[in-house]
Amino acid sequence: MASAIADFYKDKNVFVTGATGFLGKVLVEKLLRSCPEVEGIYLLIRPRGDQTAQERLNKIVECKLFDKVRHEHPTFHRKLHAIPGDMCEPALGISQSDEDMLVSKIHILFHSAATVRFDDPLKTSMQLNVVGTRDVIALCHKLKHLQAFVHVSTAYANCDRSYIEEVIYPPPVQPQKLIDALEWMDDTMVTKLTPDLIGKRPNTYTFTKACAEYLLTQEAADLPLSIVRPSIIGASWREPLVGWCDNFGGPVIFSDAVSTTCSCYLNLSFHDLKIGKGFLRTMRGEYNAYADIIPVDLTANLMIAVAWDTAVSRPENIPVYNSTSGGVNPLRWGEFSEGILENMKKYPLDKRFRTPNFAFVSNSFMYQYWQIISQKGPVYLYDIWLRMIGQKPGVLKMYSRIERVISSLDYFTSHHWEWSHDNADALMAKMGEEDKKIFKFDCRGLHWPTYMENYVLGIKKYVLKEDMDQLPIASTSEQARKLKLP
């Protein structure tokens, strides 16, 4: 059967911000593979160090994520075009010649670029997440052939509410007024005012993502616009590689430590790795609270389908799509941590600090007790032992860094939210049977124990690049055998 969505993308040109991120790369790969007649994909890429935007793009397409499309469409790279730019620069840092080209070519725009660091100062977070979005809106107004503009927010933008519908809520401060005020405020004043400004939200990230959503209602209501809100983006469920993840996002945090960055969306990466290595033994959290993880391939599929429907249906209002799992296929934090721990023991990571063990603790006193007994104490003694054998100590310093990061995650592992998904369900009902298979974004049917096993194997193979031939001989998992293949 024909795919209406793939047919829509035929001869279309797509512009993507955030294409170097976890979600952005999966989105680009999926467009190339499942919409092979797309004319071109233009990627906003910031030159970094001595690397040009084109060199960074060349590096990205070399990774294993693109192996499948490389096999099916060997010339796919000809459709990719790097656009040097920077979300922090006026007009996105795009040259006039590149802007003129985009204005005449682009039909669909996906905006997924953002800072996702929870501890960024308010000025920095506003610049990237709100002012940067305003510049994207300005570009959209210039595009002569724009048919769909998809903005990626986060399901936690309105985490001050326990039930979050697929609507845009007004933030406590008008975004433009705050932008104007931040221009004359010094850093000390901003730091003092930040807690009052963000209110019940835990950090500047969630606050500024809410501001960006509201800004869209003020400055982009006349555009063919939709908003996608993913929750915690995790490793791929089905494609293009089962269990694929990288250092940019997802709950890899539950296997090696807690990443210092937190992916478009709650990046829990570093934390997974430290459980697997044995550094992290306890964390503040509620066992029964939902760990709202959504596989990255499902969110990418939803974005592609949303752009299609936005262009075809031309909704009068701005539709919002919550890309979450808790309402249809719930997984609790306790179940997730136990599943990850079980698989970390089954498929142990190389060079472990000690045997993995982990538990969520909700009581503050017990958390402090176990933190000293099970985490800080052993780490401190290990540093003493390193000194005694003439090696440079550094484990305590690393653990202190981990501790700072996990403290910023307490809010999300200790609270429970519910999200509506009526718009996502209505979109799925519009799709043909073939498109439901190709662009599946519904997590019903996802078997969490299998997903967690694949996640751990994916961490070993794609993040830590460990030798999969060293997997325990007793492991006969079908996915383990797949991941051991070159």
Rounded average pLDDT over 8-33:
95
Q: Which of 189-198, 332-341, 342-351, 435-444 has the lowest mean pLDDT?
A: 342-351
CA atoms within 13 A on the CB side of 197: 26
Find the farthest-apart pair of alpha carbons in the chain and give their distance in angstroms, rounded: 70
Token pair in block for residue 39: 């004319």
Report in angstroms the alpha-carbon separations of 74 from 45, 57, 67, 70.
Answer: 23, 16, 10, 5
Q: Are 186 and 441 in contact (CB under 8 A)?
A: no
CA pair distance 442, 420, nearest whole angstrom? 13
Report in angstroms the alpha-carbon separations of 379 from 281, 392, 394.
Answer: 11, 14, 9
Tokens 């797509």 — which residue?
14
CA pair distance 290, 286, nearest whole angstrom? 9
Question: Which amino acid belongs to residue 474?
Answer: A
pLDDT tier at 281 (50, 70, 90 boundaries)?
Answer: low
CA pair distance 406, 398, nearest whole angstrom? 13
In tens, the pLDDT along 115-166 reads: 777 778 899 999 999 999 999 999 999 999 999 999 999 999 999 999 999 9
Omega cis (within 30) before 240 = yes
Nearest alpha-carbon partner for 157 in 110, 200, 96, 221: 200
Q: Are 458 and 480 in contact (CB under 8 A)?
A: no
Q: Which residues, 6+ apart, have CB-to-CB distance to 393 below 8 Å?
A: 383, 384, 386, 387
Which letter, b or e, does each residue of 50-77 get, where b requires 16 or more Cβ atoms within 10 Å of its Cβ? eeebbebbeebbeeebbeebbeeeeebb
Q: Which residues, 6+ apart, have CB-to-CB distance to 365 below 8 Å?
A: none
pLDDT at residue 257 above 50? Answer: no
Average pLDDT, the chain: 84
**What pLDDT does 222 receive?**
95
pLDDT tier at 212 (50, 70, 90 boundaries)?
Answer: very high
Rounded average pLDDT over 394-422:
77
Q: Are 359 and 282 in contact (CB under 8 A)?
A: yes
pLDDT at residue 273 above 60? Answer: no
Rounded average pLDDT over 298-304:
97
Higher-pLDDT residue of 79, 120:
79
Coarse DSSP helix, strand, coil percentages of the chain, rounded to the nearest 5 percent: 50, 10, 40
Q: Are 5 and 435 in contact (CB under 8 A)?
A: yes
Rounded average pLDDT over 226-255:
78
Q: Where are the alpha helices (DSSP H) in 250-376?
A: 269-277, 296-313, 333-346, 364-370
CA pair distance 172, 157, nearest whole angstrom? 12
CA pair distance 117, 265, nearest whole angstrom? 9
Q: Which of 112-116, 328-332, 378-382, 446-450 has the lowest mean pLDDT?
A: 378-382
pLDDT tier at 476 (50, 70, 90 boundaries)?
Answer: very low
**What pLDDT does 380 receive?**
73
Q: Which of 22-36, 258-272, 279-293 has the lowest mean pLDDT?
A: 258-272
Highest mean pLDDT among 142-146, 183-187, 285-289, 343-347 belongs to 142-146
Nearest alpha-carbon partner for 324 in 421, 227, 439: 421
CA pair distance 151, 68, nearest whole angstrom? 27
Q: Which of 72-81, 117-126, 357-366, 410-419 has the lowest mean pLDDT?
A: 357-366
**What pLDDT does 359 receive?**
61
Token pair in block for residue 48: 């970094």
| Domain 4-231+293-328+416-443, CATH | 3.40.50.720
- The ranges assigned to domains in the chain are 4-231+293-328+416-443, 237-291+332-415+447-486
Highest mean pLDDT among 149-163, 236-250, 361-375 belongs to 149-163
pLDDT at residue 351 above 80? Answer: no
In tens, the pLDDT along 161-210 reads: 999 999 999 988 899 999 999 888 888 898 999 999 888 898 999 999 99
Higher-pLDDT residue of 260, 285:
285
**What pLDDT does 111 receive?**
97
**255 Rama sector, left if φ>0, alpha if ψ -120 to 50, beta otherwise:** alpha
Tokens 């430590």 — which residue?
257
CA pair distance 298, 284, nearest whole angstrom? 29
User: 10 Å Cβ neighbour count for 363?
Assistant: 10
Helix (H) or strand (E) holding 401: helix 395-407
Question: What radius of gyration do the chain's Cα atoms show?
Answer: 22
Q: Are 15 and 80 in contact (CB under 8 A)?
A: no
CA pair distance 228, 424, nearest whole angstrom? 10
Rounded average pLDDT over 55-62:
93
**What pLDDT does 109 receive?**
98
pLDDT tier at 410 (50, 70, 90 boundaries)?
Answer: confident
**What pLDDT does 347 receive?**
82
Tokens 């030159």 — which residue?
47
User: pLDDT > 70: what percent of the chain?
Assistant: 79
pLDDT tier at 275 (50, 70, 90 boundaries)?
Answer: very low
**What pLDDT does 436 receive?**
96
Rounded average pLDDT over 459-468:
80
